[in-house]
Amino acid sequence: MSNRRVTLSTIDGIPLVRPGDDVTAVLLDALTASGDRLADGDILVIAQKIFSKAQDRYASLSEVSPSEQAQKLALEIDKDPRIVELILSEANEVVRHRPGVLIVEHKLGFVMANAGIDASNVAEGGESDDRVLLLPVDPDGDCARVRAEIQERAGVDVAVIMNDSVGRAWRSGTVGIAIGIAGLPGIIDLRGENDLFDRPLMTSIVGIADELAAAASVLQGQADEGAPAVIIRGYTAPGAPTTAQVLVRDKAEDLFR
């Protein structure tokens, strides 16, 4: 195998995104201001919060009326019943719960804590601190739209990943995962190929979009880094493009459910 050089770099100078902002324009303007540009084959990884803020996916806890189900569950897990109500409204089902923890299957199919609802890096100075941010309604569609707009406005063909940070079974700590994809495969199925010693691989399926999302998350950070978009250059994922839904394990094969 020949040597490959893959680089990751942040898009600097991205301002705080507000409801109604054009995500593609925000990114391209930041690139222009920094003297950088996208190239054919780049993979653009964008934090979920950028899309959620632009789409005004905010919810104010003061405006939430908890249902009886939410109030009962809130007592069991020691959480604000208003937060629990929002989580239930974004979920297909509750997967696990215990004091301080509520794991659900989001309407998008992803199993995650609190339905991905987040209060960090949401309220700006002078704004209400009771606001939280929900996930976008259609992450795959958002990625496809940004990809098409970049092709139209900048004349380059890139892949787009929307990533978010989640916890994982068996492991401590959060990592970035892909919740939306456009222009690249979500998984690479290596079953049937040979290893270094010509033994056929039997179970190897690589979640390549998640690996790329996690790599970008290292630069994006989780606190005050202010780096919501990362360009991955020099890597081409083999296979046909898919949506992020290929990364969702079928419920019948999910040992935790």
| Domain final residue, candidates 114, 135, 156 | 135
The answer, yes or no, to whether residue 3 has pLDDT greater than 60, is no
Q: Same domain, yes or no, for 43 and 141? A: yes
| Domain final residue, candidates 101, 119, 135 | 135
Q: What's the mean pLDDT in 184-205?
A: 71
Q: Is residue 256 part of a domain?
A: no
Which class for 118: exposed (0-12), middle (13-18), buried (19 or more C-beta within 10 A)? middle
- For residue 13, the one-letter residue type is G
What mean pLDDT value characterizes the chain? Answer: 90
The answer, yes or no, to whether residue 128 has pLDDT greater than 60, is no
Pick 85 or 223 by higher pLDDT: 85
**Do the bridges between strand 159-168 and strand 171-182 make them parallel or antiparallel, or are there none, so unpaired?**
antiparallel
Q: What's the mean pLDDT in 35-41?
A: 95
Q: Same domain, yes or no, for 148 and 39? A: yes
Could you report the per-residue pLDDT of 130-184, keeping only the tens digit for each? 899 999 999 999 999 999 999 999 999 999 999 999 998 888 999 999 999 999 9
Q: Same domain, yes or no, for 44 and 152? A: yes
**How far apart are the C-alpha atoms of 102 and 77, rounded to whole Å?**
7
Q: What's the mean pLDDT in 197-217?
A: 81
